[in-house]
Every structure is written in C-alpha cells, then in structure tokens.
C-alpha cells in the first residue's frame, strides 16, 4: 500500500467518497447494469497474493503483473474502487512515478497495481446480499475493464478467506511468501514506527489507511492473531510473536492445499527459484529485473529465545519444503 500526495481538495474528495459508502455502492450497482459482461472468468487461473506485509507481497505482485496477463485494481481506479469501468471517465491525479513512503525503494504510478479490493469486503461483508455472487461480479468487472482473462490481487487480509475465494475460483492460485522471522520482525517493527511518525505529520494518512482497510501499521494497528505473551507493538518481540502465530497456523492449515504455494522470500533472487514456481501457475513471461537482492538488517533488539527457536523451526520447515 502506497500513499499518494493528494492536494487538500483531493483529500476532501476522497474523505467524502470513502466516508459515505453508499456512493461507491451505488456506482457498483450502476456498473453492473451497464458493464456486466455475459462472459464470466470464474474458471480461469486467478492469482491471490496474501500473507503478512513486508514478506515480498508487493514484489510478487509487480513481478507477475509485468507479464501483461492480469487485470488488477490500480491507482487510476481511486477513489471509485467498486466501479472499475466508470472510474476511467473521472479526472485523475497527475501522479508521476515516485518512491513509496515505506523506504524500500519500490516505485509506483497511476498504472501500478495495488491492494485495493479489501474495500469491497469492507463495504459488502455485512450486507444481506450474496457476497459470493457480488465478488464474482466485481472480479469479472475488473477483468473486463482491462480486457484481460485473469485477475491478480495482493491483499494481506485474504489469508483469512482463502477457502471462500478457492470455492469461488476453483483453479485459482494462492501465493503466500514467508520471510526469515528475525528479518521479517525487524521490518514489521520499523515500518510500524515509520507509520506512527507519518500519521503524526499527516492526519490524512491515518484516514486513508483506515478507508482502505490497511491497519497493519500505525496508530490504528490491528493484530493478526491475539497476542499470547507480547501485547505492545512498540516491543520488537510483539512482531516476532505475531510472525510465529501467523505462519505456524497458516502453514498447518494450508501446507497440503494444492491451490496454495508458499514462497521463500530469501530465495527470490536465487537462480531459477521463482522461474520454476511461476511456470507451475501458467504465466508465460515476467520482468525478473524487478527483483532486488535481499537486504539483511542487523538485529538491534533482544529477541525472545523461545520465540526464536519456535519461529526458526517453522521457517526452516517451510524453506525445506518450498
């Protein structure tokens, strides 16, 4: 998730659109009436990238999207995220390619794919309408709006609805990157501090993240699993415990699922590792120049010995089998 430097007028406009969900919901109904295609894409091999943030999910998204085979929500769809066809006709912020505020060197522009489909679930999850049918409609509209055959989504919240999505799109693939627990926890901890600081400087960033359902970091952070021992996100071991709780559970649940593929972040730049993985999900050509060498951070904190032992055991098990 990246933050765009919106002007004051644009911030007010986005606040209006996201605060009153009825606007996006109304446009979604109009979208279905005007643009709903007779062709459906439910049996195609769609890609869902999910897992903890800072595990390489954005790199994977950009890599696979570079193939030109996929439709995805993009910055050009903001703020009318539920109406991908209608959003084309609205005036767009003249966003030039720039670095995102995470400090990881990843660039984006209006045509960059991004994790925006959580807005659909925030708007429709508690509705009485058929969630399955509506999400199928939504994906079909996104695909047809870009004249593609396959959909790709990077949504860190989709880990909790893998079975839901798998039942809708039976040939779909789920990519779940996993990263060395110490390195991952350092990145999560640092990013949390980064967003706390950013939200202090710019109140819109906090609103923007809440609108999009991005509560991974910052003052409105929400944990993925209820903490056992460490409850304070300002404690490094909180993030290490979250790593352990997340990956021990999701690996146990989905390691034998043929639709799920665990990918080791530290292997991304190894010769042929991702090429072999990608060939199994029927993607023809991607731009591997997007990949960057893994940057290892020095540990500056005292990790919990028991947590390190348990987390390393899970990580090594996943690494060995993937």
Based on its alpha-carbon atoms, the radius of gyration of the chain, rounded to whole angstroms, reads: 19
What pLDDT sits at residue 308? 95
Given pLDDT bands bounded at 50, 70 and 90, which one contains residue 296? confident
pLDDT at 115: 81
Domain presence at residue 1: no
Q: Please list the helix, strand and coil fractions of the chain in percent, rounded to the nearest 5, in that order.
A: 50, 10, 45
pLDDT tier, 44 (very low <50, low <70, confident <90, very high otherwise): very high
**In this predicted structure, what is the pLDDT of residue 108?**
55
Q: Which residues of 92-129 are buried (b: 16+ CB within 10 A; e: fewer)?
A: eeebeeeebbbeeeeebebebbbbbbbbbbbbbeeeee
Phi and psi angles of residue 260, each rounded to the nearest 5 degrees, phi first: -105, 135
Mean pLDDT of the chain: 88
For the cut 90, the answer to whether the pLDDT of residue 180 exceeds it is: yes
Domain assignment present for residue 261? The answer is yes
Is the model's pLDDT at 221 over the cut of 80?
yes
Centre a 10 Å sphere on the Cβ of residue 227 and count the other Cβ atoms it contains: 16
Torsion sign (Cα): 243, 246, 249, 255: negative
Quick check: is 140 in a domain? yes
- Tens digits of per-residue pLDDT, 224-239? 999 999 999 999 999 9
**Least confident stretch, 251-260, 261-270, 294-303:** 294-303
User: For residue 214, which of 135, 154, 143, 162 has the smallest C-alpha distance?
Assistant: 154
- Name the one residue in this structure whose structure tokens are 């996929």: 70
Is residue 71 in some structural domain? yes
What is the rounded average pLDDT of the residues 17-25? 85
> Contact 119/24 with Cβ under 8 angstroms?
yes
Q: What is the pLDDT of residue 39?
A: 84
Task: Assign 285 to helix, strand or coil.
Answer: coil
Residue 150 pLDDT > 60: yes
Cα–Cα distance list, 12 to 2, 15, 18, 92, 264 (Å): 18, 5, 10, 15, 41
**Residue 183 domain flag:** yes
Q: How far is CA 192 from CA 13, 64, 105, 119, 282, in A?
A: 27, 27, 17, 22, 36
Domain with residue 73: its CATH number is 3.40.50
User: Residue 208's pLDDT is what?
Assistant: 87
Q: What is the mean pLDDT of residues 262-275?
A: 92
Please check whether residue 218 is in contact with residue 209, taking contact to mean a CB–CB distance below 8 angstroms: yes
**Which of residues 254 and 302 earns the better pLDDT score?**
254
Beta strands in 12-125 (DSSP E): 47-49, 70-71, 98-99, 107-108
Higher per-residue pLDDT: 12 or 90: 12
Rounded average pLDDT over 161-167 = 95
Mean pLDDT of 153-175: 95
> How far are the Cα atoms of 46, 49, 112, 117 from residue 148, in angstroms, in the given order?
11, 18, 16, 17
- 301 found inside a domain: yes
Q: 2 in a domain, yes or no? A: no
Mean of the pLDDT values across residues 297-306? 86
Residue 247's pLDDT band, with cuts at 50, 70 and 90, is very high
Phi, then psi, of 99 in degrees rounded to 5? -80, 140
Q: What is the reported pLDDT for 36?
A: 83
Q: 175 pLDDT band (50/70/90 cuts)?
A: very high
Q: Reduce the DSSP state of residue 319 to 3 states and report it.
A: helix
pLDDT of residue 159: 96
Q: Please tell me the predicted confidence (pLDDT) of residue 93.
A: 55
Q: Which residues constitute the domain of residue 256?
A: 8-321
Quick one: pLDDT at residue 235? Answer: 96
Q: How do residues 88-127 score in pLDDT, each as one tens digit?
A: 876 555 556 555 554 455 565 677 888 899 999 988 766 6
Asked, for residue 45, whether it belongs to a domain, the answer is: yes
pLDDT at 50 over 60: yes
The DSSP code for 298 is P
Torsion angle of C-alpha atoms 82, 60, 41, 2, degrees rounded to 10: 10
Spell out the residues 6+ positions from residue 29 whose beta carbon is closer than 8 angstroms to its own. none
Q: Which residue has the tokens 């627990």?
A: 181
β-partners of residue 153 are 48
Supply the DSSP symbol for 289.
G
What is the domain count for the chain?
A: 1
Of 117, 55, 107, 108, nearest in space to 82 by CA: 117
Proportion of the chain above pLDDT 70, given as a percent: 90
Residue 301: per-residue pLDDT: 82
pLDDT value of position 4 = 55
Q: What is residue 117's predicted lDDT score, i.e. its pLDDT?
A: 92
């Amino acid at each position: 998730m990246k933050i765009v430097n919106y002007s004051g007028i644009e911030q007010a406009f986005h606040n209006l659109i996201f605060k009153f969900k009825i606007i996006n919901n109304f446009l979604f109904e109009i979208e279905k009436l005007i643009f709903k295609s007779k062709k459906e894409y439910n049996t195609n091999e769609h890609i869902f990238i999910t897992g903890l943030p800072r595990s390489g999910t954005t790199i994977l998204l950009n890599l696979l999207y570079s193939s030109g085979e996929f439709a995805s929500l993009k910055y050009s769809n903001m703020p009318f995220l539920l109406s991908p066809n209608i959003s084309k006709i609205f005036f767009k912020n003249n966003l030039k390619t720039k670095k995102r505020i995470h400090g990881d060197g990843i660039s984006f522009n209006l045509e960059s794919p991004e994790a925006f489909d959580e807005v659909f679930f925030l708007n429709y999850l508690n509705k009485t309408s058929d969630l399955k049918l509506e999400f199928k409609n939504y994906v079909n509209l996104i695909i047809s709006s870009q004249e593609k055959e396959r959909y790709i989504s990077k949504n860190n919240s989709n880990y909790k609805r893998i079975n839901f999505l798998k039942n809708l799109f039976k040939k779909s693939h789920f990519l779940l990157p996993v990263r060395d627990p110490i390195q991952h926890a350092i990145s999560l901890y640092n990013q949390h501090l980064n967003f706390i600081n950013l939200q202090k400087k710019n109140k819109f960033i906090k609103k923007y993240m809440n609108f999009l359902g991005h509560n991974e970091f910052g003052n409105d952070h929400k944990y993925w699993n209820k903490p056992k021992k460490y409850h304070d996100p300002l404690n490094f071991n909180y993030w290490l415990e979250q790593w352990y709780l997340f990956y021990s559970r999701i690996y146990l649940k989905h390691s034998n699922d043929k639709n799920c593929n665990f990918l080791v972040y530290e292997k991304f730049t190894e010769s042929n590792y991702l090429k072999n993985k990608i060939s199994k999900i029927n993607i023809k050509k991607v731009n591997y120049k997007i990949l960057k060498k893994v940057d290892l951070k020095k540990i500056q904190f005292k990790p919990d010995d028991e947590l390190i032992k348990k987390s390393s055991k899970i990580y090594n098990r996943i690494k060995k089998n993937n």
